[in-house]
């Protein structure tokens, strides 16, 4: 949109970009349906799946189980202002670490996975707080 406002692209290009974005969103939604995960669970699944060793060690089904449990835990732990309250974030970090340990997530990448999950949660903060 910034490029459009600065006349870096025309209206037709903006419309084409929006159509492409809509297609990608539809594909992501279909992927979540195929995996049996809702929007938040899919986001956490993708965050956890970035670790190739975790995928190799745990497999797809366990990663889906972890994603479901993380999504449920994050939803139950969110408050209106949780993204600004460090103590709430610290508690969430501990809960996520416990879940990862419970399912045998590779410890060498657990910190990065925890950070990625919390970053993803912050991006979805408004949805998680209203859930």
Domain total in the chain: 2
Q: Which of 130, 128, 112 minimizes the C-alpha distance to 40?
A: 128
Same-domain status, 55 and 3 = no
d(CA 27, CA 21): 10
Is residue 87 pLDDT above 90, yes or no? no
**pLDDT above 90 covers what percent of the chain?**
13
Same-domain status, 70 and 12 = no
Same-domain status, 40 and 29 = no
- Give the long-range contacts of residues 78-81, CB within 8 A, separation 24 or more: 78/121, 78/125, 78/128, 78/129, 78/131, 79/129, 80/129
Model pLDDT for residues 26-75, shown as the tens digit of each residue = 776 666 677 888 888 888 888 888 777 777 778 888 989 999 999 999 88
Is residue 98 pLDDT above 90, yes or no? yes
Is residue 118 pLDDT above 80, yes or no? yes
Same-domain status, 8 and 41 = no
**pLDDT above 70 covers what percent of the chain?**
84
Q: Are 125 and 83 in contact (CB under 8 A)?
A: yes
Q: Assign 94 a pLDDT band (cuts: 50, 70, 90).
A: very high
pLDDT of residue 95: 92
SS3 74: helix
Same-domain status, 14 and 43 = no
Domain interval for residue 67: 36-130
Residues shown for the chain: 131
Q: Average of pLDDT values for 8-15? A: 73
Is residue 16 pLDDT above 80, yes or no? yes
Question: What single-letter DSSP state applies at residue 107?
Answer: G
């Amino acid at each position: 949109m910034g490029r459009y406002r600065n006349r870096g692209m025309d209206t037709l290009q903006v419309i084409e970009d929006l159509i492409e974005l809509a297609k990608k969103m539809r594909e992501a939604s279909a992927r979540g349906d195929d995996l049996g995960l809702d929007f938040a669970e899919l986001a956490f699944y993708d965050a956890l799946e970035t670790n190739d060793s975790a995928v190799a060690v745990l497999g797809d089904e366990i990663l889906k189980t972890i994603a479901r449990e993380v999504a449920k835990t994050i939803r139950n732990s969110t408050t209106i202002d949780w993204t600004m309250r460090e103590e709430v974030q610290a508690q969430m970090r501990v809960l996520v670490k416990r879940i990862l340990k419970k399912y045998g997530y590779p410890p060498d990448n657990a910190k990065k996975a925890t950070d990625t999950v919390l970053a993803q949660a912050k991006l979805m903060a408004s949805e998680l707080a209203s859930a």
